[in-house]
């Protein structure tokens, strides 16, 4: 299991939201690239980037900031937010993004996602964001009637590199990850799962470790790293010892 620092970008700034609400933001930096450098220096193996404006507007909105991050660090970047077609996927990959995250289209156009998995092997991540077990889309502004586990099963054997699973109610709240929902989803598919939402302390990381057996290969951390309740360096050391 690895820890993956998150950089959420809104209007060119590094922010964190509470439960995905665009009106509940905290700005942590005017320079997302400087934050990426910091996480790289502290031992991150990959950076998770979300274009928040892109997720709502349905197309990339913060490309300049993402390009600057790519130019600034040497470790891989995975990026999502507003990726709705294969052309945008290719654009991101051509920029140097290692993996792209597709959320809304996994519900709206699963065929496109599966075709992208074939066109770009090992480079497509499906983002499943759930509210009370049901998938939310369009930058979390709309909740569907589709269960997270059922959506995950849709992509079994399609070549998806990983599933990023976020519990929206816990995102940014630092209340601890949803262990049971994450376990249920990971056990339902053979695709590697990355947990997200609610990670607050090193204890939360320790509580996720048993889920490695179910196929949880990583954990995304955001607000806790920015507020200092979780040390990236300590988390990296812990996970390297346990791997």
Q: What torsion do the CA atoms of 14, 18, 22, 28 make, to the nearest 10 degrees?
A: -20
Radius of gyration of the chain (CA): 16
Cα separation, 27 vs 17, in Å, equals: 9
Please give the positions annotated as active site.
Answer: 8, 129
Within 31-126, where are the H helices?
A: 32-41, 52-57, 63-72, 86-95, 104-108, 110-119
Contact between 122 and 150 under an 8 Å Cβ cutoff? The reply is: no
Instruction: Burial-class residue 213 by CB neighbours within 10 Å (0-12, 13-18, 19+).
Output: exposed
How many whole angstroms from its chain centre is CA 24? 19
Residue labelled with tokens 């905290």: 26
Q: What would the two tokens of residue 133 be?
A: 């077990």
CA 153 to chain centroid, in Å, comes to 19
């Amino acid at each position: 299991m690895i820890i993956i620092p998150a950089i959420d970008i809104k209007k060119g700034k590094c922010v964190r939201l509470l439960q995905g609400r665009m009106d509940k933001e905290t700005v942590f930096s005017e320079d997302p690239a400087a934050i990426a450098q910091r996480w790289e220096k502290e031992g991150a193996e990959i950076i998770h980037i979300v274009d928040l404006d892109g997720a709502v507007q349905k197309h990339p909105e913060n490309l300049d900031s993402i390009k600057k991050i790519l130019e600034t660090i040497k470790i891989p970047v995975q990026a999502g937010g507003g990726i709705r077609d294969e052309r945008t996927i290719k654009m991101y990959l051509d920029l140097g993004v290692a993996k792209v995250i597709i959320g809304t289209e996994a519900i709206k156009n699963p065929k496109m996602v599966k075709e992208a998995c074939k066109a770009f092997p090992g480079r497509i991540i499906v983002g499943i964001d759930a509210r009370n077990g049901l998938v939310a889309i369009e930058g979390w502004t709309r909740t569907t009637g589709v269960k997270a586990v059922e959506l995950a099963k849709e992509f079994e054997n399609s070549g998806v590199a990983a599933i990023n699973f976020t519990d929206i109610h816990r995102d940014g709240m630092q209340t601890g990850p949803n262990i049971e929902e994450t376990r249920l989803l990971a056990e339902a598919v053979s695709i590697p799962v990355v947990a997200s939402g609610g990670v607050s302390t090193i204890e939360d990381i320790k509580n996720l470790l048993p889920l490695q057996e179910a196929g949880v290969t990583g954990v995304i951390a955001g607000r806790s790293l920015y507020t200092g309740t979780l040390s990236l360096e300590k988390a990296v050391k812990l996970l390297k010892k346990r791997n």
